[in-house]
Amino acid sequence: MLVIPAIDIMNGHCVRLVRGDFDQRTVYSDDPATIAVDFARAGAERLHVVDLDAARGEHDNRTVIEAVIEAGLTIQVAGGIRTAAQVEAWIGAGAGSVVLGTAAVREPEMLAECAHRFPGHVMAALDVRDGLPAVSGWTETEPLDISELIPRWNVLPLAGIILTCTERDGTLAGPDLATLERVLGMTELPVQYGGGISSLHDIRRVREARAAAVILGRSLYEGKLSLEQALAL
């Protein structure tokens, strides 16, 4: 199982939100690229980078993310990517994979086009709130059960699915193993889990569920665990 640190970017800063609430944010650094270098030195192989401003349809942080890419790690870029042209641009800029969230839920034809054009470089984000897919920067939910959604993705050459349980995200309340196990039971695609991780014990439980990766955010920034400890598992 991969351990993937997350860098969420808002107004050029590295921040963390609580349950995706933009009014509940903590700023941890004004230099996300330096954070990326620190994660690389600690042994990370991959980073999950989210443009929060782009996710809610405002300005983007492209130049900041390009500086993060220069740290040399494999980067999966997410947040506000809703067109094939954006996917192509990020892959051209050096992103290892591009994550589609709202588009993956609402525009299946576009997701399929991108997945076939860039096989193994496109991921689908499954952001779950109240059992439904959350979209548009988690400000809305789509009235579509995940049991209808995931079969669409299973037939595509995706790099994987990123499952975020939004009620747990940024809370340090522990992982939603029931939702993780439900999703794992529906797909053979690699599933990365994020949301609520606060300890090495939480990481072990996600690993035992057979997730392909765990994404860490607030627990790293607030010293609940170290990246070195997590990687040692």
Kind plus residue range of the DSSP H or E element containing 4: strand 2-10
Query: What is d(CA 75, CA 95) in angstroms, rounded to the nearest whole number?
Result: 5
**Residue 169 near residue 181, CB atoms below 8 Å:** no
Q: Are strands 2-10 and 13-18 parallel, antiparallel or unpaired?
A: antiparallel
Active site residue 127: yes
Q: Phi, psi (5° rounding) for residue 42?
A: -80, -10
Which is catalytic among the residues 51, 127, 169, 176?
127
Alpha helices in 93-175 (DSSP H): 102-106, 108-117, 146-154
Active site residue 8: yes
Which of 227, 167, 231, 159 is CA-nearest to residue 195?
167
Query: What is d(CA 37, CA 184) in angstroms, rounded to the nearest whole number?
Result: 32
Catalytic residues: 8, 127
